[in-house]
Structure 1
Amino acid sequence: MTAGEALDPDQERLRRWRLVLGGDAEGTGYRPIGRDAGIDRALAALYRPAPREATRSGAGSRVQSRSAGLGASAPQVARWLGDIRGYFPTPVVQLLQQDAISRLGLSRLLLEPEMLAAVEPDVHLVATLLSLRHALPETTRTAARQVVGRVVADLERRLADRTRATLGGALERGARVNRPHRRDIDWDRTIRANLGSYLPERRTLVPERLVGRARARRALRKEVILCVDQSGSMAASVVHAAVFGAVLGSMRALDTRLVVFDTSVVDLTEQLADPVDVLFATQLGGGTDINRALAYCQSRITRPAETVVVLISDLHEGGVRDGMLRRVAAMKAAGVQFIALLALSDEGAPGYDHAHAAALAALGCPAFACTPDAFPGIMAAALAKRPLTLPDGGGQTGWTTR
């Protein structure tokens, strides 16, 4: 069988099984050649156990095995990265990179500039680089920031316009008033809202409802506080939260604050203009003290009825659990809209503290995981105090209005 020969359906099925199962599946009868042989070698370097030299035990002998390895050579790994980029689409390349870092301990090789030039940037790679940032040599820091910047720019292109459009509509509706002063009447919207009361015989429209805009735009500004858990398990959520923080911070109708925490609390609001700076200021890993973080956020709220607090955490509280719940209850009682996002990422179902999630739900605070694409709609509902439809279709929850 030649490299370019088409396979019948049965042979194609055996081919796929052989590439999935690796060299231990010789019984399939398919021998990879050409491009398939290259794919097989690339996958074997990551997933297939490689034999060690034989060692003797008593009269017999046995062969030990070790996990497959790409070696400690950065050029060798860089060649492997180039190979998989030629064989697989970008999402698969990113998955293989994640596995190589976690299975084979290649994180330290990311400290070398030639490695950063070879990898396919994604959210998980950014998280790894951020965890290594204190170990980055001077020659690698610029390259690392460029990698992080590329991922952030891609996320902003994907998310920014939709976020501004969705939230802008919600804020625009919230800015309308129905008892405006005469000079504040929005005549265009007033006429459209009262077309049903047009009197043909008099060729006159009698408005039953006046629509206007509040004159003091500053008084209409909403406050948004993103309170983000920076423990290691929340790495992807931290990346997305930094991007959303920058987008929300650019909207004039919002006062946005970004707070990150582990056992300490850091306010990164002044750095919101550059999400890359925000990310390099985070400290991935460490413990978790949600109570302390919420205490800080609570102290920064000036207009509770116009404030939305978004806690992004898996709720594995290492601080005072009852204190955390008391603070949430106090914020709710004051009129704050409070959301707990167990994850803000495209990953599957996250691990989280079910007891704490249930306790928050009992307080009337929704607690659920959220994809970045769903986040703008959730924020729009919170800002407008509309019933919130949960992303998984799990029904609705109402907002406290005052």
Structure 2
Amino acid sequence: MPDILPPEAFFRQFLEQKARILFQRFGYEEIRTPILEETGVFTRSIGEDTDIVEKEMYSFVDRGGKQVSLRPEGTASIIRAYIEHGWHNSGDICKLFYLGPMFRGERPQKGRLRQFHQIGVEIIGSTHPYVDAELIVNIKLLLNEFGINDFTILINSLGCAKDRMHFKKALQDYLSTKDSKLCDNCRRRAKINVLRVLDCKNTMCREVVKKAPNILAYLCDGCKKDYVQLKDMLSEMEVSFKEKTDLVRGLDYYTGIVFEIIHPLLGAQDAIAAGGRYDALVKQMGGPDIGATGYAVGVERLLLIAKQDTKVSLKRLLIIPIKDEYLKDAFLLARKFWQNKVSCDVDHMKRSFKGQMRKAHKEKRKFVAIIGEDELKQGKLLLKDMETGEQELISFEEAVGRLTCRDRACPCP
């Protein structure tokens, strides 16, 4: 569970704000749920036989004698809140997004930590496949916002409960003939949660899965229609995708359409984002029988591949007094910039002029404002662009006009 230090913390804040702006464009509203929930919220939703519940949740008994857990994912808490606050009584669709830390006691590896962060969306109240298409478009635009374009969208359908029952039987029959070729985990999974075999990354298991029954052959007419409608709509919206018939999700609540976004830079754990439909979960957790769908993006994985714009820096301007005697004037100038919502600071370590310029280069400052006797007499400052080397003697008002950040997503003051 590492600390998040600057400048990464600032870049994360920038990404989160970019996401918020995009989500608001889609009409999604932010929800914040507790990090700590009653354990039953997760066992009822995620599934008692999943790796998350069996091995990875951080759970303990609180002082009141309740079994509680740090949330391992976001959906279960949101559905709990949706039911608890009676939002289903409005009869309207509910579109929510969330950002925050999750916790799983799994083996740390590239892009996978015990405390990790997710950005996610949940749409509750509709079973129409066009809603799933909307989510996939939303993910695509979100990744594009972060400079990520070379990803692949994978889709599949797990069908309805009856479809899965027939498919699971066929899959178990097939795997029973391949028992010696499965890893130890998959031999166990084949008996208690057979769909999880399809998700195994073991090379031998992947070879077995290649010849396994195809779930699409077991879809009922209704589920086939939904799947075709999704594919048609994605094509109409010019969203490229690939079908992956062994794509399943690691949580038991998924039904129907599922999807995953992968990127080649992430290696074996190549998923940046994933999601799908969970039409039975609201009822399963005590609410009405209504459809729902959603997705989550792993922020740590996103950071591994996002195009980090070096211009996104909280330390945009450094004010440099030529001599110590002008340090007071430098601070008075900084106060005026702060009042005008320009991010800046002053070096008060009594460095030489050259030392202050080295500091500006080291910290990748975009601009420096130099003040000395001539500048103060004229009521101006010398503004230097550290990237181009160009400098100009300008008024304070002109400097504010150039330095004011106009990026709505940038958390500059």
TM-score bracket, normalised by the shorter chain, equals under 0.3
Larger RCO: Structure 1 or Structure 2 (Cα < 8 Å, ≥ 6 residues apart)?
Answer: 2
TM-score normalised to the size of structure 1? 0.23
Structure showing the higher helix proportion among its residues = 1
Structure showing the higher strand proportion among its residues = 2
TM-score normalised to the size of structure 2? 0.22
